[in-house]
A and B are shown apart, each in its own frame.
Chain A
Amino acid sequence: MAIILPKLSRRRSSTGVTSESQPAIRLTLCDPNSMYLAGGELTAKWRISRVQVDELQGLEISVLWHTEGKGDEDLHVHHFQRIGDAKLREIGVENEQSIQCVLPAAPLSYHGQLIRLSWCVRVRLYLEDGRDIVSESPFYLVTQLQQTPCVANSGEEEEPLKGASDASSVAASRSAQTRSVLASLRR
């Protein structure tokens, strides 16, 4: 049975309102399913439009993970690149640029009850007038064995106790649960 993955939302603008006059950041990941293997290579392409290069102060591109949920946020940047205004003029922002990085082995993407661990590529554009515009492209970091992000149990009901050897049936039920959570995310 095919596993349908949720369509990950992409944050367009820090103000939340995108008008025709505002600068736009187009950020595309090389994998259309947004699934990357731990230790694998990630390539992302970005392009800026509707803005003159003179109006830009700089640009930051980060590949990072952060936590969401009940607790305070943890954030760790795995790959970071800052491009100053002189370099932006040199490369020309209207042209498509790309970044590459090798992803780490951990931490993997996780969707739990209290904690969600999400990976994303984030581009932050600094304008001359002091504003900054953020665009994000989330992705999943998984392993060959776990080809879907890990999803936690509800925790309200215990696993039925049939001895330790029944772990494979537990794994099967968890896999079904993963699919249902992902489907609900998609809805």
Chain B
Amino acid sequence: MLRLPMPWSKKRGQRRLGNPSVGIAGEVAFSGAAFLSGVFGLSLVLISQFAPQQVPEQVSSEALSTSLSSWVIGVVSLAAVMIGAMRLVFRVMHLNASDEMRSVIATKAAALERLAPGQGGEVGLPNVPRGKSITDSPGEYLCYRLPVVIGEDGIFGPALLALFWNTAWIILLAVVVSGFWIGRPRWILAGLLVPFALIGRWSFLYFLSQVRQRIGVGPTVVEISEHPLKPGGRYDLFISQGGRLKLKRLSVELVCEEETFYRQGTDVRVERHQAFVLGLARQRDLEVDPQVPWEQQLVMEIPANVMHSFAGTHNAIRWKIVVKGESRPWPSFCRNYPVVVHPPG
């Protein structure tokens, strides 16, 4: 049975929703129109400045009467000229080039700037991340102390949300109170105060939980005997968890994660999948004292047939050591320590 493609679904594989040349023609037409309208607007501004008597009668005399309106129209027209011209040149340059040719041109251009993803890797290991920052810090017990990656559940976003939302709520409250004060009550705004207050309360509590998590859970130290890692290799690992904690569970894992970026409409979406998980340590009902941190020396053996670290433009394979804890009264925490795995040999 023939399945019609749905325009709102993500394009997969080689399926196309129409002839690609129609899209190219549309893009060229739009860029050309932007360029020409920009030239027209810019010409009008220049004529009005240097030969005002030559401005056509159809153009409103108020449009270019002040210097501010001239500037606005001039800047917008200049932007339209530049955007239109750049898109036109880009499209024309790509008209008769294959994907491979474009890739070669991009690689050569980037080699000059030394910025291409393919060139950013280790010498002789293209598209394998360098991971230089990982070996910046020497360890106390083993060779290197691994840096922690601040997760996406950072404190900055919740803090901003709580601040702006509650500020807006207080302004709204002031407007409502002033309405009652002058005898013209705003009932709709007053009604909105309650649901808005609930959202404000939730955002503030979420911010507080993030603060508690950050302050309450002590530092986690991860040290490793060697870096970069290689499949089939055996490495020593030292883990230390500080703070005053009563942990229900603590686990240490080596994780290989596939990370992929794709466009869906105007959004760029990220999807992650744990391709490989190797449990290194797991302990239940653990008590950590500030004077006596929980410390563990582990041996980590990486299987031979695993993929190395990889960093493309839209796809990546990342390796990391993950320390996860479930604790009370503090919320659970999860800390990631990236490592780089090189191909064997």
Spell out A's residues near B (CB within 8 Å). Answer: 38-39, 60, 62, 64, 67, 69-77, 80, 82, 104-108, 110, 112-115, 117, 122, 124, 132, 143-146, 148, 150-153, 155, 158-165, 167-168, 170-171, 174-175, 178
Contact = CB atoms under 8 A, between A and B. Distances in A.
Contacts of A168: 301, 303
Contacts of A60: 98, 100-101
A132 B263 CA distance: 28
For B107, B272, B274, the residue with the greatest tally of chain A CB atoms inside 10 Å of its CB is B274
Contacts, number: 180
Interface stretch (B79-87, B120-128, B323-331): B120-128
Nearest to A67: B315
15 contacts: A75-B100, A75-B103, A82-B101, A106-B128, A106-B310, A107-B310, A108-B343, A113-B273, A115-B260, A124-B100, A158-B279, A159-B277, A163-B280, A167-B278, A167-B302
B258 A72 contact: no
A69 B315 contact: yes
A113 B277 CA distance: 14
Interface residues of B, number: 58
Interface of B: 98-101, 103-104, 107, 117-118, 121, 124-128, 231-232, 237, 256, 258-263, 271-282, 298-308, 310, 312-315, 317, 342-345
A147 to B, nearest CB: 9
Question: Which 3 residue pairs across A and B have the least CB separation, nearest first?
Answer: A71-B260, A161-B279, A171-B303
A144 B308 contact: no
B313 to A, nearest CB: 5
Given A80-B104, A114-B260, A150-B305, A164 B126 contact: no
Given A60-B101, A106-B127, A164-B299, 4 more contacts: A110-B310, A145-B304, A152-B256, A165-B299
